[in-house]
A and B are shown apart, each in its own frame.
Chain A
Amino acid sequence: MSLLSVKDLAVRYGDLIGVGAVTLAVEAGQIVALLGANGAGKTTTLNAIAGLVPPAGGQILWQGKPIQGLPAHQIVSRGIALSPEGWRLFTGQSVEANLRLGATRLADRKQLPHRLDHVFTLFPRLAERRRQQAGTMSGGERQMLALGRALMSAPKLLLLDEPSLGLAPAVVEQVFATLLRLKAEGLTLLLAEQSAELALEVADRAYVLQTGATVLSGTGAELAGNAEVRRAYLGG
């Protein structure tokens, strides 16, 4: 049984179709990449899993049980955290306050200091800036904070929406190194990316979305070697 499996997911925005038929599976301990051009439906898929938008059809199974349509706070409680597109930090509050908010659904409150320590070990930069307002930080620091905030709920599955977007290449390298480290610690990751090259480097498995439907899937290496994927996403 997969940790997460999505079958024929459909999401509508009024009359518009967000996604029509997304199917994917995430095995525990893997990094899974969700690829596709702008508008393919990556964000919509992640948001539906996270409970931000209600599915119009299909199934989302978490450890074998349906979770589609559950409100976001119940999804977080079950162990799925999303670091959203554009980070969506609480810019008026401090770094530490943002992290503490991330732990809103942490069932065992005694764990909170340990979670904070964990995040500060991963990102010493955040420890240095713990009293600083989130809105005053650089792009790379914001990405770290968004990741850290999501990790504060002690998730089993981390959903990441475009972690490399708008970041300098050196910072992107750092972020991906952190993702591999999280994987080594036992975390499972589902990663939406427009830039397929980096994602395929770290991914155990990848799915390609096109206009709201899964059109290709395979291991990272298979897709990296796939002519169609190379042409569409890797520029040759």
Chain B
Amino acid sequence: MILVQLVTDGLLVGAVYALLSSGLTLIWGMMNVVNFAHGDFVMLAMYVAFIAVTTLAIGPALFVPLAALVLFGVGVVVYYALIRNVMRGPMLAQILSTFGLGLVLRYAMFWVFSANFVSLPDTLVGGVLSVDGLRLQYSRLLAGVVALLLTAALHLMLTRTALGSRLLAVAEDRTAAMLVGIRPDPMQALAWGIGAACAGVAGALIALFFYISPLVGDSLVLIAFVTVCLGGFGSVPGALFAGLAIGVIESLSSWFIGAAWKDVVVYGLFLLALWVRPQGLLGKS
């Protein structure tokens, strides 16, 4: 029974990892840029949720879409103001620019909120669902299900709609996309918007059951990197499966080996998997 509980807990958290990582993998897939500020986007969204709850007294039905919207805007602005320019520079400039952006965001938050941990009232989505001895916190259940649905929706958007087809066209061959009459810039801005919005929703959902601090994005972005690597760079379904797998591995290892060791297990398996299949477990060779 404990196994079922652990696996379910892991899958719910894993779904949030999947959504978070889908944003990262989309941006990578579109333009081969690693967004090192992705964790700080998550952090930003958590503060958006916090501010919305404390000042507007709204629930997740409103603050999750709000965080998505705000972060979408952040993503688009970041693309036009920063990324578009540094794309012309060397690889190192691209890496350092998103890294620098992340630093600015987190220290701006230190400045506004100081280093104190804050959290949303746990009565916001309180209570526990009990089925057949399985105990699921409503907050995590909500987060997991919403994240899973949105990740699936992103995949369907990319593979089944004309807009998705254009995004994938720019991702595969920017010049060919231009030839058929697609303007790459708006598509890349859109990818940044959607990618950041994924981080935004994930952050707002995580805030339901996790503390908030300016550095909270650090551990999350590492998980996202691991997920993207395992799932294959640029693949949303890959991110989904890898995210779920990592959630379950975390959950199992923190129970059986100890919470302090779960990160060692996850990153250890990550290195092992990369060593075996550098293109990602689910990536194309």
Q: Contact residues of A with B, CB < 8 Å?
A: 50-52, 71-73, 76-77, 81-82, 84, 88-93, 97, 100-102, 104-105, 149, 152-153
Q: Which residues of A contact B180 (CB under 8 A)?
A: 76, 101-102, 104-105, 149, 152-153
Contact of A93 among B165, B175, B178, B183 (CB under 8 A): B165
Q: Is the CB of A92 within 8 A of B176?
A: no
The CA of A84 and the CA of B162, in the complex, are separated in Å by 22
Q: Is the CB of B181 within 8 A of A105?
A: yes
Given A105-B180, A153-B180, do A93 and B173 touch, yes or no (CB 8 Å)?
A: no
Q: Is the CB of A71 within 8 A of B183?
A: yes
Which residue of chain B has the shortest Cβ distance to A76 in the bound complex?
Answer: B181
Q: Which residues of B contact A73 (CB under 8 A)?
A: 178, 181-183
Q: Which residues of B contact A81 (CB under 8 A)?
A: 179
Which residue of chain B has the shortest Cβ distance to A106 in the bound complex?
Answer: B181
For this complex, into which size category does the number of interface residues on chain B fall?
Answer: 10 to 19
In the complex, whether B168 has a CB less than 8 A from a CB of chain A is: yes
Q: Pick the 3 closest A-B CB pairs, nearest first.
A: A105-B181, A76-B181, A88-B176
The CA of A81 and the CA of B181, in the complex, are separated in Å by 9
Q: Is the CB of A89 within 8 A of B176?
A: yes
Q: Is the CB of B182 within 8 A of A100?
A: no
Q: B residues 247-262 with Cβ under 8 Å of A?
A: none
Contact of A104 among B172, B175, B181 (CB under 8 A): B181
Q: Is the CB of A97 within 8 A of B165?
A: yes
Give the number of A-B contacts (CB < 8 Å): 60
For the complex with contacts A73-B181, A104-B182, A153-B181, 8 further pairs of A-B residues with Cβ separation under 8 Å are: A71-B178, A73-B182, A82-B179, A84-B176, A88-B173, A88-B179, A90-B172, A104-B181
Q: Is the CB of A93 within 8 A of B169?
A: yes
In the complex, whether B155 has a CB less than 8 A from a CB of chain A is: no
Contact flags B171-199 to A (C-beta < 8 A → 1, else 0): 01101111111110000000000000000
Q: For residue B37, give the distance in angstroms from its CB to the closest CB of chain A.
A: 27
In the complex, 26 of the A-B residue pairs with CB atoms within 8 angstroms, ordered by the A residue number, are: A50-B179, A51-B178, A52-B178, A72-B179, A73-B181, A73-B183, A76-B179, A76-B180, A76-B181, A81-B179, A84-B179, A90-B176, A91-B172, A92-B168, A93-B165, A93-B168, A93-B169, A93-B172, A97-B165, A101-B165, A101-B177, A102-B180, A104-B180, A104-B181, A153-B180, A153-B181
In the complex, whether B166 has a CB less than 8 A from a CB of chain A is: yes
Contact flags B25-37 to A (C-beta < 8 A → 1, else 0): 0000000000000
The CA of A90 and the CA of B162, in the complex, are separated in Å by 14
Q: Which residues of A contact B173 (CB under 8 A)?
A: 88, 90
Highest count of chain A CB atoms <10 Å: which of B168, B173, B181: B181
Highest count of chain A CB atoms <10 Å: which of B165, B168, B182: B165
Contact of B169 among A51, A77, A101 (CB under 8 A): A101
Which residue of chain B has the shortest Cβ distance to A105 in the bound complex?
Answer: B181
Which residue of chain B has the shortest Cβ distance to A51 in the bound complex?
Answer: B178
Contact of A90 among B168, B181, B183 (CB under 8 A): B168
Which residue of chain A has the shortest Cβ distance to B173 in the bound complex?
Answer: A88
Q: For residue B161, give the distance in angstroms from its CB to the closest CB of chain A.
A: 11
Which residue of chain A has the shortest Cβ distance to B178 in the bound complex?
Answer: A72
The CA of A76 and the CA of B180, in the complex, are separated in Å by 7
Q: Which residues of B contact A82 (CB under 8 A)?
A: 179
Which residue of chain B has the shortest Cβ distance to A72 in the bound complex?
Answer: B178
Q: Is the CB of A104 within 8 A of B176?
A: no
Q: For residue A22, give the distance in angstroms from its CB to the closest CB of chain B.
A: 20
Q: Is the CB of A100 within 8 A of B181?
A: no
Given A92-B168, A93-B168, A93-B169, do A52 and B179 touch, yes or no (CB 8 Å)?
A: yes
Q: For residue A103, give the distance in angstroms from its CB to the closest CB of chain B.
A: 8
Q: Which residues of A contact B175 (CB under 8 A)?
A: 52, 84, 88
Q: For residue B210, give the distance in angstroms from its CB to the closest CB of chain A.
A: 36
Which residue of chain A has the shortest Cβ distance to B176 in the bound complex?
Answer: A88
Q: Which residues of B contact A93 (CB under 8 A)?
A: 165, 168-169, 172
Q: For residue A144, give the distance in angstroms from its CB to the closest CB of chain B.
A: 16
The CA of A81 and the CA of B178, in the complex, are separated in Å by 11
Q: For residue B48, give the distance in angstroms from its CB to the closest CB of chain A.
A: 35
The CA of A38 and the CA of B88, in the complex, are separated in Å by 29
Q: For residue B157, give the distance in angstroms from its CB to the closest CB of chain A.
A: 14
Given A52-B179, A71-B183, A76-B181, do A100 and B162 touch, yes or no (CB 8 Å)?
A: yes
Q: Is the CB of A92 within 8 A of B178?
A: no
Contact flags B46-90 to A (C-beta < 8 A → 1, else 0): 000000000000000000000000000000000000000000000
Q: Is the CB of B172 within 8 A of A101?
A: no
Q: Which residues of A contact B183 (CB under 8 A)?
A: 71, 73
